[in-house]
Structure 1
Amino acid sequence: MMKNLKKIVALLTVSLFLLSFSNCGGAKTDDSKMSFEQNPPFKISEAYYQNWVAGVKDGGSGTNIHINFSNIQQDVVVQNIYFRNHKLEAKGNVNEPNQFVGYLKNEAQRDVVMDSDPMKEAQNTLSKKNPFQLEDSEAVVEYWFGGKKNYYKISDLTQKEMIPYPQANPNQHE
């Protein structure tokens, strides 16, 4: 009888131990259950994206996402913008407190390091996975309000004409 009781206690202990680990992994997948706020504490007057390309070799290219608020409650903290499978920090401007921009720079293709030495492979950087399925003209604003993280989906981003930044001034002599 005592041996059976020990076996049952051991089995319950192992089961609880394994169950606790499965809950840890499940807590991280709650992002997939994110819901969008239907009545946010702000109004968006304009939301658009604009591609750009540098005028110098290896200068790069990218896309800037602009969100202008016409009315935003004072305790709203805009944190990130999700756009085209990227999570971008929403940068504000002290002179224009109702305007935020997310900067997406197109990264040049880089090689992935495959090596038997794990320290060399550790140089590979993983991209942050976007938890949202978005169309090219959609973005999600992540913001804090009332002590809670919220998400608002913008479905009608407009595209403005590309900005081709000029090359270095050819008239400038050193």
Structure 2
Amino acid sequence: MMKNIKYIAILLTVPLLLFGFSNCGGAKADGLKTSFEQNPPFKISDAYYQNWVAGVKEGGSGTNVHIIFSEIQPDVVIQNIYFRNHILEAKGNINEPKQFVGYLKKESQRDVIMDADPMKEVQNTPSKAFPFQLENNQAVLEYWFEGKKHYFKISNLSEKEMIPYPQANPNQHE
């Protein structure tokens, strides 16, 4: 009888301990959400987003997020732009070293597989958790400086006029 009580006690204690340790890691990840740099090694002169739409049906649409620096330390590496629940790779331009753009292309609604057979539903790709709660006109800049990853929140991105791309290239000859 005592042997059974010990066995039951162990069975109840182990899951509780595992659950307790798993919450410790979650609390640490939540701390990441609010640890924004207050004095980054750069100054932003302009930050805006601009919607665009292709002139052809299959061309799609999207939003480009532009960040222009007036000053930036040479050893800062701009990594990603977090915007509207998406993580965009920040792409630089060799001709404009103080300008970075994140490209967000709106994808057509993908088909979600719903089936009684769970093996068919495995093909659905789960969405990743977005680490920040942002307003529509806010973004977070992820960058590396002095060997560490940092985050800087950009508030009040302005919206530039939408770019409607033409249906076909007017300079194209048939």
Work out whether the TM-score is over 0.5: yes
Partner of 1:163: 163
When structure 1 is superposed on structure 2, of 35-44 and 107-116 the one drifting more is 107-116
Percentage of matched positions with identical amino acids = 67
> Aligned to 2:57, what secondary structure does the other structure show?
coil
TM superposition shift of 1:122:
2.2
Map residues 101-116 of structure 1 onto 2, 5 A cutoff: 101-116=101-116
When structure 1 is superposed on structure 2, of 157-166 and 90-99 the one drifting more is 90-99
TM-score (norm 1): 0.83
Residue identity opposite 2:62 in structure 1: G
Structure 1: distance between partners of 2:30 and 2:67: 24
When structure 1 is superposed on structure 2, of 11-20 and 160-169 the one drifting more is 11-20
Computed over aligned residues only, the root mean square deviation of the Cα atoms, in angstroms, reads 2.6
Map residues 18-33 of structure 1 onto 2, 5 A cutoff: 18-20=16-18, 22-24=20-22, 26-28=24-26, 30-33=28-31
Q: Count how many residue pairs are aligned between Structure 1 and Structure 2.
A: 172
Map residues 80-159 of structure 1 onto 2, 5 A cutoff: 80-159=80-159
Q: Evaluate the alpha carbon distance shift between residue 126 and residue 53 of structure 1 in structure 2; reply closer, same or farther with a 3 A threshold.
A: same
Structure 1: distance between partners of 2:48 and 2:78: 16
Partner of 1:46: 46
Stretches of structure 1 that go unaligned for 5 or more consecutive residues are none
Stretches of structure 2 that go unaligned for 5 or more consecutive residues are none
TM superposition shift of 1:97:
2.0
When structure 1 is superposed on structure 2, of 159-168 and 106-115 the one drifting more is 106-115
TM-score (norm 2): 0.83
